[in-house]
Amino acid sequence: MPAAKIAPSLLSGDFANLASECERMVELGADYLHMDVMDGHFVPNLTIGAPVIKSLRQHTNAFLDCHMMVSNPEQWVDDFAKAGANLYMFHIEATEYPQALIEKIHATGMKAGIAIKPKTPVDAVLALAENLDMVLVMTVEPGFGGQKFMPECMSKVVALRRAFPELDIQVDGGIDLTNIDVATTAGANVIVAGTSIFKADSPRDVIGTFRNSIEAKLR
């Protein structure tokens, strides 16, 4: 398995102080900063876009992991590349031409990832994974934070890890101290968490526990 990476979801942060929230998460041990981009169409919520990423890039050198919950992911590739995004994660359900989109993303210099919803079978991404930098297995329905973790999605993580031992496999949705071991045992090495980190008495300890759970599976 590749290295452990913890990616706090800034959707749970204070949007009025987003730059300082990003800085705080990095100081607490975050490897990536997970940016939830929602268009109000692919999912029933509206969050941030490329202008926010551009502004944040002026305040942080951190890895910006952009989860594109949008209906036309092809439309925004160049804007996010210019804004300073490091990884462009689109949903397989949102495009008819995923391979062409992967190539377009890579041509900008960004890393490319594909996300799959809980009801989307893993077969939808297996044929593409060798060309990807990351696959995201959603463990809640995308669109809102604070939802309950869906353990039935772990079979997809298991299948991906067996097929691609070196791939970054991310899980996102309801991850907390009660289920982190379930996710890492299945093979996830990139953990997205919002509520369980930002609302914790000690976010540093939560990040550390998540990392320890991943690394225990690497031994």
Residue 49 assigned to a binding site: no
Residue 144 assigned to a binding site: yes
8 Å CB contact between 23 and 60: yes
Residue 108 assigned to a binding site: no
Residue 34 assigned to a binding site: yes
Catalytic annotation, pick one of 31, 36, 133, 168: 36
Catalytic annotation, pick one of 39, 65, 168, 172: 172
Active site residue 36: yes
Residue 78 assigned to a binding site: no
Q: Tell me how far apart the alpha carbons of residues 65 and 44 are, in angstroms, rounded to a whole number.
A: 21
Q: Tell me how far apart the alpha carbons of residues 171 and 89 are, in angstroms, rounded to a whole number.
A: 13
Residue 145 assigned to a binding site: yes
For residue 148, count CB atoms less than 10 angstroms from its CB and return exposed for 0-12, middle for 13-18, buried for 19 or more.
Answer: exposed
Residue 164 assigned to a binding site: no
CA distances to 89, 132, 169, 178 from 210, in Å: 22, 24, 14, 11
Q: Tell me how far apart the alpha carbons of residues 79 and 91 are, in angstroms, rounded to a whole number.
A: 17
Measured between its terminal Cα atoms, the distance across the chain in Å is: 10
Active site residue 172: yes
Residue 36 assigned to a binding site: yes
Residues annotated within the binding site are 9, 34, 36, 67, 143-146, 172, 174, 194-195
- Residues annotated within a binding site for substrate: 9, 67, 143-146, 174, 194-195
List binding-site positions for a divalent metal cation. Answer: 34, 36, 67, 172
Active-site positions read: 36, 172
